[in-house]
């Protein structure tokens, strides 16, 4: 068995031959195979590492994008939080202003809420009281039926300017020039509209209101409403004059409750600002039972002020 092989090398010095054993041959093949394996492994490793590096770069880029996105969202969130803080500050300031204004309204209408009452409860209570005030001022005569320019003759005993006798003046003579517009001082039905000889009021309008009240408008020049007509507060009903037993143009304004006369002056002055004063000054009317009976009445569109109430009556006027 031939266990050797010959390697022949030709060069400029001639031919050289080397006889090698088969074991050496196998060793060389093993070494070459190992080197080839190492090379292939190295190539595979390099390819894998390149692939892994690409993947890591891709992940890094994704993380970078996610970071930038989170950074942008965080910036937007900070901006939104600042805007929210500013809005909350403004709302808090606005609520404080509303609370202060509400306190003024509560004082005006006589409310004294407890310290633990919420703003919503205060608003609800104020709304209910305001609605009730509006209802009473709509249904019960209030405000001046003519542009207020003073009183020429008060309610009570006086010397009649024409008859020159002492008498009880049942109404209030309001100063007014000829043909001054006269407005209804509350919602009501026209009970009388025309010339009234017996009373001496001349042309007269009588309005029947809710809860037992009536209002009289005397010495008129012209009546513009008819018997049986429903009128709302602020409706033009007549023009002032000098008809009947009268010494000059003016408006005789008279109020009655259950057929008994009451001083109209307190009602002429009656408005939101001095809402409670009349309850103390006019004792002939059972205000408490009236208020209790009308607590839940609401008016959709109340008449805020009479057209004639351009001049605000001061509390000092008598």
pLDDT value of position 106: 56
Band of the pLDDT at 316, cuts 50, 70, 90?
Answer: very low
Same domain, 23 and 171: no
In a domain, 199, yes or no: yes
Does the structure show a pLDDT above 50 at 83?
Answer: yes
Domain of residue 41 covers 4-72
Q: Among 41-50, 114-123, 155-164, 275-284, name the one with the lowest average pLDDT.
A: 114-123
Here the tokens at position 14 are 């001639």
- CA angle, corner 218, sides to 217 and 221, nearest 5? 105
65 and 155 within one domain: no
Check residue 97 and report its DSSP letter.
H
Nearest in space to 161 (alpha carbons), one of 149, 173, 150: 173
Backbone dihedral angles phi then psi of residue 309, each to the nearest 5 degrees = -85, 55
Residue 6 has pLDDT above 90, yes or no: no
Q: State the Cα–Cα distance between residues 9 and 43, nearest whole angstrom.
A: 33
Instruction: Return the higher-pLDDT residue of 27 and 255.
Output: 255
- What's the pLDDT at 313? 43
Give the highest mean pLDDT range of 134-148, 155-169, 272-286: 134-148
CATH number of the domain residue 269 falls in = 2.70.70.10
- In this structure, the answer to whether residues 62 and 144 fall within a common structural domain is no
Is the residue at 77 inside a domain? no
> Environment class of residue 213 by beta-carbon count within 10 Å: exposed (0-12), middle (13-18) or buried (19+)?
buried
Confidence band, pLDDT 50/70/90 cuts, at residue 238: very high
Specify the number of domains making up the chain: 2
How is 169-236 classified by DSSP, letter by letter? Answer: E-SEEEE--TT-EEE-SSSEEEEEEEEETTTS-EEEEEEE-GGGEEEEEEEEEEE---TT-EE-TT-E
Of residues 24, 21, 15, 18, the one with CA closest to residue 6: 18
**Which among 97, 121, 118, 101 has a CA at the least distance from the CA of 109?**
101
Query: Is pLDDT at 107 greater than 70 in this prediction?
Result: no
Does residue 102 belong to any structural domain of this protein? no
Same domain, 62 and 145: no
pLDDT at 243: 93
Q: How far apart are CA 268 and CA 253, in angstroms?
A: 10
**Are 35 and 173 part of one and the same domain?**
no
Asked which of 52, 72, 92 is the last residue of a domain, the reply is: 72
Q: What is the pLDDT of residue 2?
A: 57
Q: By three-state DSSP, how is residue 257 classified?
A: strand
Q: Is residue 298 part of a domain?
A: no
The helix/strand/coil state of 54 is helix
**Domain end marker among 72, 95, 110:** 72
Same domain as 286, residue 200 = yes
Whether 127 is in a domain gets the answer no
Are residues 159 and 241 part of one domain? yes
259 belongs to a structural domain:
yes
Query: Do 56 and 190 have their domain in common?
Result: no
What pLDDT score does 304 carry?
Answer: 67
Quick: pLDDT tens for 26-53.
Answer: 777 788 888 988 999 889 999 988 998 8
Contacts of 178 (CB under 8 A, 6+ apart): 221, 240, 241, 242, 249
Take residue 143 and report the two structure tokens written for it.
């405000």
Q: What is the pLDDT of residue 180?
A: 95
**Whether residues 146 and 269 fall in one domain:** yes
Same domain, 143 and 283: yes
Residue 54 has pLDDT above 70, yes or no: yes
Average pLDDT score, the chain = 83
Which residues, in sequence order, are bridge partners of residue 169? 156
Q: For residue 64, tell me if it sits in a domain.
A: yes
Helix (H) or strand (E) holding 26: helix 22-109
What is the value of pTM for the model shown? 0.62
Task: Check residue 112 and give its pLDDT.
Answer: 60
- Indicate whether 64 and 145 sit together in one domain: no
For residue 128, CA distances in Å to 22, 132, 143 come to 119, 6, 22
Q: How would residue 208 be classed by pLDDT, with cut points 50, 70 and 90?
A: very high
> Is the residue at 94 inside a domain?
no
**173 in the same domain as 59:** no
């Amino acid at each position: 068995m031939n266990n050797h092989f010959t390697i022949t090398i030709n060069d400029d010095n001639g031919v050289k031959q080397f006889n090698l054993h088969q074991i050496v041959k196998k060793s060389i093949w093993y070494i070459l195979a190992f080197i080839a394996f190492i090379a292939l492994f190295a190539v595979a490793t390099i390819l894998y590492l390149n692939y892994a590096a690409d993947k890591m770069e891709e992940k890094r880029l994704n993380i970078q994008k996610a970071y930038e996105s989170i950074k942008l969202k965080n910036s937007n969130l900070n901006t939104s939080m600042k805007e929210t803080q500013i809005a909350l500050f403004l709302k808090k300031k606005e609520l404080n202003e509303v609370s202060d204004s509400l306190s003024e309204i509560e004082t005006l209408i006589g409310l004294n809420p407890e310290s633990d009452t919420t703003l919503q409860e205060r608003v609800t209570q104020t709304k209910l009281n305001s609605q009730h005030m509006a209802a009473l001022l709509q249904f019960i005569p209030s405000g001046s039926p003519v542009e207020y320019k003073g009183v020429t003759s008060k309610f009570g005993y006086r010397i009649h300017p024409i008859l020159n006798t002492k008498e009880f003046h049942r109404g209030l003579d309001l100063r007014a020039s000829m043909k001054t517009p006269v407005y209804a001082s509350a919602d009501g039905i026209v009970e009388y509209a025309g010339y009234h000889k017996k009373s001496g009021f001349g042309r007269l309008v009588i309005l029947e209101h809710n809860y037992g009240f009536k209002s009289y408008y005397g010495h008129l020049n012209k009546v513009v409403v008819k018997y049986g007509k429903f009128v709302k507060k602020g409706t033009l009903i007549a023009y002032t004059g000098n008809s009947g037993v009268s010494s000059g143009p003016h408006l005789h304004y008279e109020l009655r409750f259950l057929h008994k006369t009451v001083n109209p002056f307190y009602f002429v002055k009656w408005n939101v600002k001095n809402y409670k004063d009349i309850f103390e000054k006019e004792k002939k009317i059972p205000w408490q039972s009236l208020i209790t009976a009308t607590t839940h009445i609401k008016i959709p569109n109340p008449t805020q002020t009479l057209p004639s109430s351009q001049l605000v009556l001061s509390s000092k006027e008598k």
